[in-house]
Structure 1
Amino acid sequence: MSQEDSDDIKGKLALITGCTGGIGYATALSLAGRGCHIAVHFHQAVQKAEELVLNLEKLGVKAVAFRADLSNYDNVRQLHTDVVNTLGNPDILFNNSGILNGALGPNGNIQDVSVEKFEETWRTNTGTAYLLTQLCLPNMENKKWGRIVFNSSVAAGTGGVVGPHYASSKSAMHGLLHWIANRYAKDGITCNAVAPALIIETGMMSNPSEELRKRIPIGRFGRPQEVASIVELLVTNAYMTNKIIVADGGWTPSAF
């Protein structure tokens, strides 16, 4: 089996943004369990980032926390520089961080989302992921190996319940990943997305209603570890690229 086809990610470096959130935290532990070193990005949760680093080191991998406000492109560039100077170039990039930037609900008024808020949401959710991917790709090209994963949302395909700013910022990721996947497949680089919904222990689902749970076909909310297992699949399967994997307990009937 060639290196390009191998599912062995031991010794690879994964940069995970939003690592102190439920999905980021679980994914870091999941990939570290496969022997990945982890660049732990966080914004404000210092204590949780330090706790995660300790837990990762117990698994026998290298882990360093990097603080950055990713609503600013210069901070994105600095984060990449800091990671490279401290741990090396990332082999795996999980673009996981993002913001809601206010929730209108499905019956909200579009007039309540200013174009400034719209652009801020796109910059933080989509622009950041684009720039970080752009920065990480050259080294992946040189190595002829790379894994890029975007954390999208079911809202990208359905409109969701947050608002047009959020849904469209996530939908834009899909066009981005499709282009990247097609362009860099020949270089041993895969690019995919996971699109979760109704995942508890996250910022979006901190206090879900019982009524909402009853609407989920499998009868319960999802867990961060279940999203992390999909990310693990996407970074260990060299034949899977250009895909959006939906994790929503059967809420939507098919991929979009």
Structure 2
Amino acid sequence: MPDAATSTNPIDSLQGKLALITGCSGGIGRATALALAQRGCSIAVHYNSAKDAADTLVSQLTGTHGVKAVAFQADMSNYDAVRKLHAQVVQEIGHPQILFNNAGLTNSVIGPQGDIQSVSVEEFEATWRVNTGSSYLLTQLCLPNMVENKYGRVVFCSSVAAGTGGVIGPHYASSKSALHGLLHWIAMRHAKDNVTCNAVAPALITGTTMMANPSPELQARIPVGRFGRPEEISTVVEMLVSNSYMTNKAIISILTVG
């Protein structure tokens, strides 16, 4: 049987793989955990403050889907906490073979017509720390084992704002666009190691913290006339981690107008 690096099957089996998903207690993270569990993945469920939601998800994953799942708490704005998260996952359930860097935050929302003076450099850096820095660090921690074992799937949760400026503000948009440069470097550097690196860049997705109370004006900017759903993003992530040939891509979920 050919190994993963030489397989001609475009859709690789995920059975028995371990996926670490940050921001996993709700929205896109939760939907992705359920999708990957259906493919036989064990799940390291990261959460920050939503312990009850994370525990409920773990129960669903282990009970309904019959996979191994454990919840891990970490504040992604604290790099030492990120290091501890990785160490705990490795100690309790093993090295992640799939990493979905999904955790993120918006901080102030100033909108497309906002004043850049409203976002201090301190808030700018705080946004980058969670959205970009922690994803970089966690990827850095997971990569050595992926490279050693010639198998790894890294996915960043970017945003349509990375290419358009978006509806949050410059701090958020720039933190997401930085992920694209990061994935391009990783993808090129580690393609020979059977480590792929991609991003999904959603637009306006309901059922997430960011889109808890979407306005009709935002919906009007979407060509299909409705907001997206977390499950529609999880199918894209599933495709990215199950395809050993697709790398160096940022998949835009849907374009907004203006």
Q: Flag whether TM exceeds 0.5 (same fold).
A: yes
For 2:87, which of 37, 59, 81 is the aligned residue?
Answer: 81
Query: CA separation in 2, counterparts of 1:124 and 1:49?
Result: 19
Q: Is the 8 A contact 2:222 2:257 kept in 1?
A: no
Partner of 2:143, secondary structure, is helix
Counterpart of 2:13 in structure 1 is 8
For 2:120, which of 111, 114, 118 is the aligned residue?
Answer: 114
Q: Establish whether residue 54 from structure 1 lines up as the match of residue 81 from structure 2.
A: no
> What displacement does 1:252 show?
6.2
Matches within 5 A, 1:18-167: 18-58=23-63, 59-167=65-173
Query: CA separation in 2, counterparts of 1:213 and 1:189?
Result: 37
> What displacement does 1:91 show?
0.1
Query: CA separation in 2, counterparts of 1:155 and 1:216?
Result: 13
Go from structure 1 to structure 2 and tell me whether the alpha carbon gap of 1:252 and 1:184 turns closer, same or farther (over 3 Å shift): farther
Query: CA separation in 2, counterparts of 1:55 and 1:94?
Result: 19
Partner of 2:148, secondary structure, is helix
Query: CA separation in 1, counterparts of 2:203 and 2:106?
Result: 13
More deviation, 72-81/99-108: 99-108
Q: Structure 2: which 5+ residue stretches go unaligned? A: none
Go from structure 1 to structure 2 and tell me whether the alpha carbon gap of 1:45 and 1:213 turns closer, same or farther (over 3 Å shift): same
Partner of 2:80, secondary structure, is helix
Query: CA separation in 1, counterparts of 2:105 and 2:152?
Result: 26
Query: CA separation in 2, counterparts of 1:80 and 1:122?
Result: 20
Deviating beyond 4 angstroms after TM superposition, the runs of 4 or more aligned structure 1 residues are none
> What displacement does 1:219 show?
1.7
Matches within 5 A, 1:199-214: 199-214=205-220
Query: CA separation in 2, counterparts of 1:198 and 1:121?
Result: 19
Task: Supply the RMSD in Å over aligned alpha carbons.
Answer: 1.2
For 1:197-229, what per-residue CA distance to the aligned partner results, in whole angstroms no more than 9, with x for missing partners?
A: 111011111111223323321121100000000
Partner of 1:74, secondary structure, is helix
Equivalenced residues, count? 252
More deviation, 211-220/11-20: 211-220
Partner of 1:185, secondary structure, is helix
Q: Is the 8 A contact 2:205 2:230 kept in 1?
A: yes
Identity of aligned residues (%): 65
